[in-house]
Structure 1
């Protein structure tokens, strides 16, 4: 039982291995707005399946206090610049989703993407051959509290239907595990 509680972040082992302390999931239960240090096992499994299905970078972020907080970056396709994502969110699809969630849509193209596809996109603005998109991660009230992002070849973001279709079920299943 202790191993399961540690795996799902309810407990953490003390550095000297002599005992246990309360983990990040307990803080979430108490209503503290700190992201979990690590995704629960079920969420990691869903994310692994999604990454295999889309063959590109799949990242999970939460929006806390008006900031983008990277919860899980794809190790095989890392974020191009996580620090810049936090500093300049409007340059990236994940940050644009934060702006949409806060009602601060900076231009008509972003609003058009949300209306048309339900996602935010960045197509070739940082590197001409790549792009990214972000699907909203919603809590049980329907409030956007984070996003799942895809990064990959620009043509897959220019026409995002395939990627969205592959990621939507994972996003719906992931939401209750991380929010």
Structure 2
């Protein structure tokens, strides 16, 4: 890393010990960041609330130390290399959101249960479950992919995964015809979401949308469930799920 020579107070008419000198310098950097490349000394002084004479001295020092540069025609200033280095270091030190962080945020925006399932290894497995909305008969979902939204989503998107040879009828609403299921899987691909209504459990309805990795492959699903009377595939609820799954891209 390049060593930077510290600024000595004797090299300028202001220094770190002067009242508000640092705040004024930062205000001038902010002025260039806000107003853009080519910002004039007068504009910087006005934005930062610095007297013109002081502004000129500070600008010369900021340019000399690499925090600002003069634009090619010398009419104004732009952010310099050292400011860019600081911005990059700040970005790299900011922790990225985790899957659980995103899920906790999403759960605060809905009254329904919200879960994340993984399709890794062509196996349906829930990796982040809503602590306030337990999925009743959760093991049934992986054993009867044809009868629930997250299972249908997996059947539609994961190559080589197929329904059981014998379709089990779990309720009177369970779909047990292969041709009907094939049509629904095609609809899932085109619409972007899967749905169920009392097919696995009476009184329960659910929606599911795909979660993708950084290469856009479907690696899991975001699963929302609740009362059959309240969970419907209306545009707002579907959009909430689609936007939520977009935030989970690359986190599963």
Please, what TM-score do these two structures have when normalized by structure 1?
0.68
Cα distance between partner residues in 2 of 1:159 and 1:69: 24
Q: Number of paired residues? A: 138
User: After superposition, what is the alpha-carbon deviation per residue over 1:12-58, rounded to whole angstroms, capped at 9, x for unaligned?
Assistant: xxxxxxxxxxxxxxxxxxxxxxxxxxxx9632221112112121010
Choose from 37, 41, 44 the match for 2:100.
Answer: 44
Give unpaired runs (5+ residues) of structure 1.
1-39
Cα distance between partner residues in 1 of 2:240 and 2:208: 13
Aligned to 2:64: none
Please show how residues 10-159 of structure 1 align to structure 2 within 5 Å.
42-103=98-159, 104=162, 106-116=181-191, 118-159=192-233
Give unpaired runs (5+ residues) of structure 2.
1-95, 164-180
Q: CA deviation at 1:91?
A: 1.4
Q: Which has the larger radius of gyration?
A: 2
Over aligned residue pairs, what C-alpha RMSD do you find? 2.2
The structure in which a higher percent of residues are strand is: 1
Distance change in 2, residues 1:108/1:50 (3 Å): same
Do the aligned residues in 2 keep the contact of 1:50 with 1:167 (CA within 8 Å)? no
Cα distance between partner residues in 1 of 2:217 and 2:140: 25
Cα distance between partner residues in 1 of 2:182 and 2:190: 13
Relative contact order higher in (CA < 8 Å, ≥ 6 apart): 1
- Following superposition, which runs of at least 4 residues in structure 1 exceed 4 angstroms of deviation? none
